[in-house]
Chain A
Amino acid sequence: MTPAIRRLAMLVLSIMAAVLSAWMFESWLSVGKPSPFAHTRQGHLLGWLGLGLTLLVFVYPVKKRLNRNRRWPRDWFRVHMVAGVMGPLVILLHSGAHLHALVPLFALASMAFVVVSGIIGQGVHYVAVRTLNARRRQLHDEGLSDEDIESHLRRMAAQEEAFRLWQSVHAPVTLMFLAFTVMHVMGALYFGGF
């Protein structure tokens, strides 16, 4: 098993473990109760909390696009990553494994798409940057000129960028996630009341 395959397998297993843990915790909270936890007031409050955390994710892309000429908002990127994992985990507790209605199911599926593509994208980027830096040091030690090193690395960077197809999924599917989340919230308020 190559290191890349091993990392991918670890990633898939971690995501599956996180989803199963959240749903099993919700099931445990529901044992012996007249309604599943996800359908109680506390379950609904978790939904609002998860939504709030998930909305924090959008500060980073908004800041990045509004302030193109300023420094890359590193701290907001950290918030983007942490809230992008914590928010969906809270949402999983809110949903439980009660997958009946299609509208929240679409919202959940598109959220999963965005989160998984984001995690994979960050993983790809992290590995690529580490590989580039290691290669830069190696070429430097071999005595290549700065110009040759840059030319060499540009080819590697181009390959890495070609691999970053995840961005084609990550950002646009957010639109679908937002549309179905708004529909789910509106539907829950319409049928369930405030």
Chain B
Amino acid sequence: MHDLPLPRTVVPLVSVATAVLVLWVAWESLRDPETLWAPGAVSRYHAAVAGCSSCHTPFRGPMTAQCVLCHSEPRFAAEAGPWTAAFHADLLRREQSCLACHTEHRGKLGSLTAANPHGDWIFLGTGTSSCLTCHEFEPVFGRRPMVLNNEVVLRLMAKGGGAHRPGQMASCTTCHTAGRRSE
């Protein structure tokens, strides 16, 4: 199979078109970087944040150190409810990553927080108040957390006639409907 010589104008034409597009991307990146680069629109909670570099560190991505510049312990104490403030104060003291539970660019109306797959009454069932009692999280949103091998976890696994075992724990509501113990 052999190639035909291309018409002389083709390569310069495509080169110019590419150069124009690249320059346009560079220009628009200064004005509206979200449209060009972001995987989704920033949520309404962060609509007032100015510029990508408020949250993103170049070549390192979003980092907890950037989050806590705004979401500091005093700000939680001043603006959040007592449970939320205490919960996050504890996380900040333990230097946990915000990215284990929070994300962005899910659209203007998107949620920033990962849903608790167990449902909120896992806390009622275990007598705990924090995910960290049973889990260790990686600093990456969406990654499955590691289950700790402690007394609370072992006690929960001993319950349920063998139903509470790894791989079966996430969806409590399959067996426990409306907060009732399954038959």
Contact, CB under 8 Å: B61 / A193: yes
Residues of A within 8 A of B2 (CB): 72
Given the known A-B contacts A40-B142, A183-B25, are A98 and B59 also in contact in the complex, defined by CB atoms under 8 Å?
A: no
Decide yes or no: A72 and B14 within 8 Å by CB, A102-B35, A106-B21, A172-B6 being known contacts.
no
Let me know if A190 and B1 touch, CB within 8 A: no
Contact of B17 among A33, A98, A171, A176 (CB under 8 A): A176
A100 adjacent to B17 (CB under 8 Å): no
Count of B residues near A, CB < 8 Å?
Answer: 40
Cα A119 to Cα B65 in complex, Å, equals 49
**What secondary structure prevails in chain A residues at the interface with B?**
helix
Residue numbers in A under 8 Å from B103 (CB-CB): 34-35
CA distance A72 to B22 in the complex (A): 35
Q: Is A5 an interface residue (CB 8 A)?
A: no
Q: Number of A residues contacting the other chain (C-beta, 8 Å)? A: 35
The contact string, 1 if C-beta is below 8 Å from chain A, for chain B 1-13, is 1111011001101
Does B179 touch A at the CB level, under 8 Å?
A: no
What are 19 residue pairs bridging A and B, where the CB atoms are less than 8 Å apart in the complex?
A: A35-B103, A35-B142, A72-B2, A98-B39, A102-B28, A102-B35, A103-B37, A125-B1, A168-B6, A171-B6, A172-B6, A172-B14, A173-B14, A175-B14, A179-B18, A190-B56, A191-B56, A193-B62, A194-B60
